[in-house]
């Protein structure tokens, strides 16, 4: 995936740098979310991608589908779900920890390298906070909505089809949306979650004029139809407009789904 870069100075001066307006470059994804570049008019730019890891990884999964890397898409979607668990655990821990953030940090360190421990922590904290058991990936069956499918792809080198990658992405989207919509039901819990989320976003360098952007799939800073979790059809449309160099983009736009593709 590459991040579209716009020039703030060209925008301010009304300069059109290409046929569609002000986008002048694409940048490879960076861990720190801060993208430095210079446009063709010599302006220095800093673009900040305001995104938590789960949001960025879901976008990377969608772009991998568009580019035909279905195995990478499944891997990114699976990581997106795990990073949401991390965000939820930490936002709950750091919000509820009355003693000190040090305690929360030490607790997180105990589980930070073991995904099964994180899943257990998420289930317990989510159930306690919301008085409801969270929906999870199914354990049984070979279908593309199961942990077995995910493990086959990630650990056994299985190459999924386009349809399987899309089913898995939609399944992960459904889980993430259900968690976000549950958080949105309680204004105080939502405020705490978003406050923690904002605290982990990349910080604008104070001396630089920055452009800020968000991910296309999920952003806790943006609401579509009254929720921060937009529906999957809407997300597919966001990616269908990303370019026209590949047939998969067109399929997203024309059919709204990939169901007609044969392997």
Pull the structure tokens for residue 121.
Answer: 């922590």
- Pick 47 or 177: Cβ nearer Zn ion: 47
- For residues 44 and 186, give the distance between their C-alpha atoms in angstroms, rounded to a whole number: 42
Which listed residue (4, 9, 202, 243) binds Zn ion by CB under 5 A?
9
Residue 215 touching Zn ion (CB under 5 A): no
How many CA atoms within 13 Å lie on the side-chain side of 80? 30
- Pick 41 or 234: Cβ nearer Zn ion: 41
Q: If binding means CB under 5 A, how many residues of this protein chain bind Zn ion?
A: 6
DSSP-derived letter for residue 227 is: B
CB of 43: closest distance to Zn ion in angstroms?
A: 3
CB of 12: closest distance to Zn ion in angstroms?
A: 9
Span from 7-15, 76-84, 188-196, 203-211 in contact with Zn ion (CB under 5 A): 7-15
- Pick 36 or 195: Cβ nearer Zn ion: 36
Span from 10-18, 104-112, 122-130, 236-244 in contact with Zn ion (CB under 5 A): 10-18
Helix (H) or strand (E) holding 210: strand 210-213
- As to burial, measured by CB atoms within 10 angstroms (0-12 exposed, 13-18 middle, 19+ buried), residue 261 is middle
Contact status, residue 193 vs residue 91, Cβ threshold 8 Å = yes
Contacts for 232 with CB less than 8 Å, ≥ 6 apart? 169, 170, 173, 174
- Pick 47 or 79: Cβ nearer Zn ion: 47
CB of 10: closest distance to Zn ion in angstroms?
A: 3
- Secondary structure (3-state) at 176: helix
H-only helix segments in 47-97: 53-67, 70-96
Contact status, residue 118 vs residue 86, Cβ threshold 8 Å = yes
- Pick 41 or 198: Cβ nearer Zn ion: 41
Site residues for Zn ion, 172-211, by CB under 5 A, read none
- For residues 187 and 11, give the distance between their C-alpha atoms in angstroms, rounded to a whole number: 37
Site residues for Zn ion, 12-51, by CB under 5 A, read 39, 41, 43
CB of 238: closest distance to Zn ion in angstroms?
A: 25
- Pick 16 or 255: Cβ nearer Zn ion: 16
CB of 241: closest distance to Zn ion in angstroms?
A: 23
Residues that bind Zn ion (CB under 5 A): 7, 9-10, 39, 41, 43
């Amino acid at each position: 995936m590459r991040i579209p870069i716009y020039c703030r100075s060209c925008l301010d001066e009304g300069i059109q740098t290409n046929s569609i307006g002000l986008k002048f470059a694409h940048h490879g994804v960076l861990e720190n979310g801060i993208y430095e570049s210079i446009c063709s008019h010599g302006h220095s730019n800093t673009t900040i991608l305001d995104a938590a890891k789960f949001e960025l990884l879901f976008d990377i999964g969608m772009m991998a589908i568009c580019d035909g890397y279905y195995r990478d898409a499944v891997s990114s979607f699976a990581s997106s779900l795990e990073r949401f668990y991390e965000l939820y655990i930490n936002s709950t821990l750091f919000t509820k920890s009355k003693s000190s953030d040090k305690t929360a940090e030490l607790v997180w360190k105990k589980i930070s390298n073991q995904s099964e421990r994180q899943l257990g922590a998420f289930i317990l904290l989510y159930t306690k906070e919301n008085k409801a058991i969270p929906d999870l990936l199914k354990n049984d069956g070979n279908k593309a909505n199961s942990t077995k499918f995910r493990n086959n792809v990630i650990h056994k080198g299985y190459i999924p089809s386009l349809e399987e990658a899309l089913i898995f992405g939609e399944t992960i989207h459904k889980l993430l949306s259900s968690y976000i919509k549950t958080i949105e039901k309680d204004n105080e819990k939502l405020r705490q979650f978003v406050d923690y989320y904002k605290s982990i976003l990349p910080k604008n360098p104070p001396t630089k004029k920055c452009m800020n952007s968000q991910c296309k799939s999920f952003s806790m800073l943006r609401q579509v139809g009254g929720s921060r979790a937009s529906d999957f059809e809407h997300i597919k449309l966001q990616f269908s407009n990303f370019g026209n160099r590949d047939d998969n983009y067109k399929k997203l736009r024309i059919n709204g789904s990939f169901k007609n593709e044969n392997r």
